[in-house]
A and B are shown apart, each in its own frame.
Chain A
C-alpha cells in the first residue's frame, strides 16, 4: 500500500482557536441549561409516580447536581430516613429503616414500584433529544 501525505494549511490559527473556543463555551452553556431543565422535569415526574401513604418518602426525594451541574441524580438518602421522625404520620413515628429501597425493589409481600426507573424511561427520548439539541453546532 502506498503512503498518502495530507497537509492542512491554516493561515489564521488564532482565529480558528477562538472559533472553536466560542463554540465550546456555547455548547457548555446549553448543556448546563439542559441538564438543569431535564433534571428538574425528571424529578417532578418521579415524584408524581412515587407511592404515597404519608407522602414523607415523596417529600424527601432529592435532585442533586454534580460535576458543576452537568450531571444530575434523582433519589433518596439514607440519612433523610433512618433516625428521622415522620411527622406526616398520625401519630408521628420514628423511621428505623431506609424504606424507599423496599418500595422500589419490593418485598416478599408486595411487588416493587420502581418509579425512579419509570420516570427515566418515560423521559428517555426527551432527555436524549434535549442533549442532542444542546450539542448541535449552530
Chain B
C-alpha cells in the first residue's frame, strides 16, 4: 500500500496580530507497514500549547506504529494507556519549561493504517473524514462541550471519557483527512452535514498527484484562501492511497475535466485531447522542442498549456525537461 502524505499548518490572523506561535501542529510517520498522520490544536489559553501539540502528535504516531495490535485488541485499555503515556511526556515537558501541565493542553486527532485496517483516534474538536467511493464521509465529528469556546484536551480530567478510538476496514477508502477547527468550518457544513466540494477535490487529487506537488498547492490554499475565512490557526493532514489511482489513461472525460479544473458544464474535447497527448508524451522526460515536434500545436499554445499543467501539479519542469507527475497506466 503506497500512501501520499500531505501536512499543512498556518498561523491564524489573531495569532499573527498578537505574535503568538501557530498552535496547530501536524506529524506523520511510516514504519512497520503502518502509515500514521496526526494533528493537534493547542489550547488558546495555554501558553505553551504549541509545544504540547507537537509532543502529542509525535507521541501518538509512535504509539500507533509500535502498538497497533495492542490498540486493536483492547480499545478501552488503549485509551487509558495512550493518555497516560501522553500525560507522562507532557509532565516531563512541563518540568523542562517550568510550567503547569495544563499549559501544554491540546486536542489530538490521528489516523493509522495497516493493510486493510485503520485506527482513528479523536480527542476534542476538529474532524476526521475519509474519501470513500468518491464521496467524503465523516469518520469522527468534533467533540465539543455545549459552548463554542469549550472543548476537550489531552490534559482535561475528562479526556478518557471523551476520547474516541474508531477501528474500521479500509474497503473502498482511498484517503483520510484530519483537520483542526480552523479548517473544519470551511470544509464541513454543520447544518446539512455535508462536506464542501473543495475537500472532495483536494482528496481526489491527493490520490492522483505526487505528494510534493500537493503539499505545495494545499499549503498555498491554506495560506491564501482557507485562513482568510477564520482568525484561528489552520491545519490539515491527509493520508491518500497513491496506489489506488487507476492511471491517467483510464480516466473518463469528466474526471479529466475535473482534474484540469475546467470551468463550465460541457466538455472541451479538443482541449482534453491535446492535454492527453501532452501528458502521454511526458511519461518520459522531454525538452520543449522535442515535445513540440510530437504535437499538432504551435509553440505559444504549447507553452501556455504546459504552464497550466505545471500549475495543476500534473506535470513538472526541472528547468530543462518536462515530466508527467501522474501515473499514465
Q: Do A and B assemble together?
A: no
Question: What is the interface of chain B, defined by CB distance below 8 A to chain A?
Answer: none
